[in-house]
A and B are shown apart, each in its own frame.
Chain A
């Protein structure tokens, strides 16, 4: 542990894929500025600090914690609370931490359904004795424990207070650099700010929009050749641009892929799924109920598509059919 007056940074991953860790390294030469600006005092992915080191720090010892990943189990919840206590500024880093992310789609199912899929039904599972992981297990040497899964996936700010959000799956280098620079210059925005653009991906998108009703059928992007000049949504390809915060320079759409919504909703949007349904409705051609039903039936997994990154922080939060069945 260093005792100089340099800033102290911590990085942590909870329920995430590891892409956010790569994004940190992806800031390129700016990482040297980070190193010049501060010391890393905790980063399980890259350094050898232990949890007991963190427990030994004074409260507020860490200047900024960059926390990626959703809260899926009780260990992640514990570490989130520990890091909150030890940090002056907590940044929800990436879509999972800020919105719930891909792991958050687990909220469409009960824990039992998820376990059945993972330990019984998935095509790659061979488990004739139906073994399930136990949070604690007694062996001759003592009791072995693993983290226990929580009922619902939560975003970081549903567990602890969060000062800033750097969205994205993964976060884009320019916004990570912007956050670090703002901190270095003492120009951090008011708490609660999302460090990214303020309008929508559509605003940044170079594709041409006609503002005419044009969706007659829904197409999947890998099954058709799309016109690189025209708006994907108007071509009938589901694109999350209208409800998604800007800041990525429409990177996916420019590369020929539809926006997946990883930057989360803009300040004006509360529920991305509802907003996307509204966007499609405004440019869909069908007018009778039957035609509309037939059109929307062409969307594979609409709930998963429209809430891909934001289910835990949407107005839905989770499905509750388990609770009604249990009564």
Chain B
């Protein structure tokens, strides 16, 4: 049995969290590949249905960043 690797979905605001994640990349900061980022223009765009859909399709966790 391999170690549990969570599948995480991140709804990231393009102006802050997504930019932060981008900056981490350009700064060559390493982070775990478990988070799949989905860029949104504002976290106000995130509908609770998105979160449910992510879990329904197998996500172990959802991060709303913004």
Closest to A278 in B: B48
* Count of inter-chain pairs, beta carbons less than 8 A: 23
Which chain A residues border B49 with CB–CB below 8 Å? Answer: 269-271, 274-275, 278, 315
Which chain B residues border A316 with CB–CB below 8 Å? Answer: 52
* Interface bin, chain A: under 10
Bound CA span A269–B49, Å = 9
Q: Is the interface of B mostly helix, strand, loop or mixed?
A: helix
Which chain A residues border B56 with CB–CB below 8 Å? Answer: 315
Tell me which residues from 234 to 275 in chain A have a Cβ below 8 Å from any Cβ of chain B.
Answer: 269-271, 274-275
Closest to A271 in B: B49
Bound CA span A278–B43, Å = 13
**B28-66 interface code vs A (CB 8 A; 1 in, 0 out):** 000000000000000000011101110010000000000
* Interface bin, chain B: under 10
Query: A274 to nearest B CB, angstroms?
Result: 4
Bound CA span A274–B52, Å = 8
Bound CA span A269–B48, Å = 11
Query: A323 to nearest B CB, angstroms?
Result: 15
Q: Is the interface of A mostly helix, strand, loop or mixed?
A: loop
Bound CA span A271–B52, Å = 9
Query: B49 to nearest A CB, angstroms?
Result: 4
Contact B47 A315 (CB under 8 A): no
Contact A277 B48 (CB under 8 A): yes
Contact B47 A278 (CB under 8 A): yes
Which chain A residues border B48 with CB–CB below 8 Å? Answer: 271, 274-275, 277-278
Which chain A residues border B47 with CB–CB below 8 Å? Answer: 274-275, 278
Closest to A316 in B: B52
Closest to B49 in A: A274
Bound CA span A270–B51, Å = 12
Closest to B55 in A: A315
Which chain B residues border A274 with CB–CB below 8 Å? Answer: 47-49, 51-52
Which chain A residues border B53 with CB–CB below 8 Å? Answer: 270, 315
Which chain A residues border B51 with CB–CB below 8 Å? Answer: 274
Which chain B residues border A278 with CB–CB below 8 Å? Answer: 47-49
Query: A264 to nearest B CB, angstroms?
Result: 15
Query: B50 to nearest A CB, angstroms?
Result: 9
Closest to A314 in B: B52
Query: B58 to nearest A CB, angstroms?
Result: 13
Bound CA span A315–B54, Å = 10
Bound CA span A315–B57, Å = 10
Query: A212 to nearest B CB, angstroms?
Result: 17
Bound CA span A277–B52, Å = 12
Which chain B residues border A277 with CB–CB below 8 Å? Answer: 48
Query: Which B residues are closer than 8 A to A by beta carbons?
Result: 47-49, 51-53, 56
User: What are the 8 A-B residue pairs with the smallest beta carbon separation, nearest first?
Assistant: A274-B48, A274-B49, A315-B52, A315-B56, A271-B49, A278-B48, A277-B48, A274-B52
Query: Can you name 5 extra interface pairs (CB under 8 A) apart from A271-B48, A274-B52, A315-B53?
Result: A269-B49, A274-B51, A277-B48, A278-B49, A315-B49
